[in-house]
Amino acid sequence: MSSYEQLATNAVAQIEGAVDLDTLEALRPALLGKKAPVSLAKKDLGSLEPDQRKDAGQAINAARQTIESAFTTRHAELASAARAVALEAERLDLTEFQADPDAGHLHLITQSRDRLEDVFIGMGYTVAEGPEVETAWYNFEALNIPEWHPARGSFDTIFVNLGEPEEVMLRSHTSPVQIRTMETQEPPIYIIAPGRTFRTDTADATHLPAFNQIEGLVIDKGITMGDLAGTIDEFVRTFFGAEVKTRLRPSYFPFTEPSAEFDISLPDGSWLELGGCGMVHPNVLRNCGIDPEIWQGFAFGFGIDRLAVMRYRLDDIRELVNNDVRFLRQF
């Protein structure tokens, strides 16, 4: 072993003996600095015979490279070990932070309503809204329910102490929005009208005096009962799933003619009544200044609360208005 190789071997031994980065860095001047043996040996080259200089020079360079390489390797080893120690000290149990999310929650009705709106927007509808307190004209008369009509009683209306008795009321359905829309917009009309509605139903597990409905109205040329059935079918398949079927049964609403209830199929093969629908009654169109000989349309409506109750199998509809965070934060 040449003296230069010996020099490198000694240096590498020192480097590998360094236990941490500080110790290693402290060795650098002694092993690779100006006063290091390899540096001094290079300086001394001139004192050698010319024929020895080349070999010696190469040997010195090789020794230096060996030392530098050992330095780099050891540095990487020690840095990695130091990082491991430092990171270990930072260890966190992430499960400690799983609980108690900071984000709030949209109300179940809002979530349901948004989903419904989005389906109908995709089908080419816009969303119309109206006041919750209405006059008899919008809630009844314009909808072909004259003052003496037996159907009025079935709406279980909550009246408001304004105007003549029974002239102003909390709307008992979202249908007044149909009238308001037809009064102010030219056909074609494709709207849905979600919103709060009111009836004199004492609150219990399945009833609330204030609840939510969504209503659809289409007025266009050549609209048929087949369009109504097809639209309900398309909506139901989009909202509930492609396997869900619909059927229409004749029914009666003063503001539609023909009128029907629509049912959706349940997995067990039975049918569930979802809402009411029908072709807009010519009298309703006339009441809004629309010529029923030119324009035809359909309307449909159903309860949003009931959908939420069905979807999440709520056993008490009052949870929707109790505002209990133990309920609200579930959705």
Partner 1 sequence: MKVLLSWLQEFAPDIAGDPVELGETLSGLGLAVEEMTITGQGLDGIVLAKVLDLSPHPDADKIQLVQVDAGSGEALQVCCGAFNMSVGDLIPFATIGTVMPNGMEIAQRKMRGEMSNGMCCSASEIGLGQDHDGIMLLTGQTDSQPGAPIIEALGITEDVLWDLEVNANRPDAMSVSGVARDLAAKLGVPFTFPEFSYTSSGLAVTDEATIEIVDPTLCGRFLARTIHDVEIGTSPRWIQQRLIALGMRPINSVVDISNYVMLELGQPNHTYDLGSVPGGHIRVRRASEGENITTLDGVERTLLPGDGVIANRDDLTIGLAGVMGGLDSEISDTTTSVLLELAWWDPPSISRTIKRLNLPSEAGTRYRRGADWGDNMPRALDRFCQLISESGAAVAGGTIDASGTTPDRTPLPVRIAKVNGVLGTDLDAQTMSDHLRSIGFKVEAASGAENLTVTIPTWRWDTETETDIAEEVGRMFGFDNIERTVPRSEIIGHLTDYQKARRSVRAALVGAGCDEIQPMPFLGPGDLANAGMPEDGVTLTNPLVQEESILRTSLLPGHLKAIAYNQSHRSGPVRFFEIGHIFMAPTDNPLLPDEREYLAVSASDSEAPVAVQLLGLLDGTLALPNVQLRPSVPNGMHPTRSADVVIAGKIRGYVGEVDPDVCKAFNIDGRVAWLELDLEAVLNGPHGNRKYSPVSKYPSSDIDLAFEVPDSITAANIAGAMRKGGGKQLASVELFDTYRGSGVADGARSLAFRLRFQATDRTMTDDEIGELRAGCITAAQKQKGVKLR
249 binds partner 1 (CB under 8 A): yes
Candidate residues 110, 186, 286, 316; the one interacting with partner 1 per rule CB under 8 A: 110
Number of residues interacting with partner 1: please give it, by CB under 8 A. Answer: 91
Candidate residues 7, 15, 78, 248; the one interacting with partner 1 per rule CB under 8 A: 248
**SS3 of 184, please?**
helix
Q: Pick out residues in 172-211 that bind partner 1 (CB under 8 A).
A: 188, 190, 196, 200-203, 208-210
Candidate residues 21, 32, 59, 132; the one interacting with partner 1 per rule CB under 8 A: 132
Query: Rounded to whole angstroms, how far apart are CA atoms 77 and 14?
Result: 15
Q: Is the peptide bond before 101 cis (omega within 30 degrees of 0)?
A: no
325 binds partner 1 (CB under 8 A): yes
54 binds partner 1 (CB under 8 A): no
Q: What is the DSSP string of 219-256?
A: EETT--HHHHHHHHHHHHHHHH-TT--EEEEEEEETTE
Q: x/- string (CB under 8 A) for partner 1, residues 10-49?
A: ----------------------------------------
Helices 21-32 and 3-17 cross at an angle (nearest 10°) of 160
CB 107 within 8 A of CB 328: yes
257 binds partner 1 (CB under 8 A): yes
143 binds partner 1 (CB under 8 A): no
279 binds partner 1 (CB under 8 A): yes
Q: What is the DSSP string of 43-94?
A: HGGGGS-HHHHHHHHHHHHHHHHHHHHHHHHHHHHHHHHHHHHHHHHT---G
Q: Which stretch binds partner 1 (CB under 8 A): 14-22, 66-74, 77-85, 243-251?
A: 243-251
Q: Pick out residues in 303-322 that bind partner 1 (CB under 8 A).
A: 320-322
Smallest distance from partner 1 to CB 133, Å: 5
Candidate residues 10, 131, 186, 316; the one interacting with partner 1 per rule CB under 8 A: 131
Q: Which residue's CB is nearer to partner 1, number 184 or number 202?
A: 202
Say how many Å lie between the first and final Cα of the chain, rounded: 78
Alpha-carbon distance values, 260 to 31, 154, 198, 280, 297 (Å) = 97, 17, 22, 12, 14
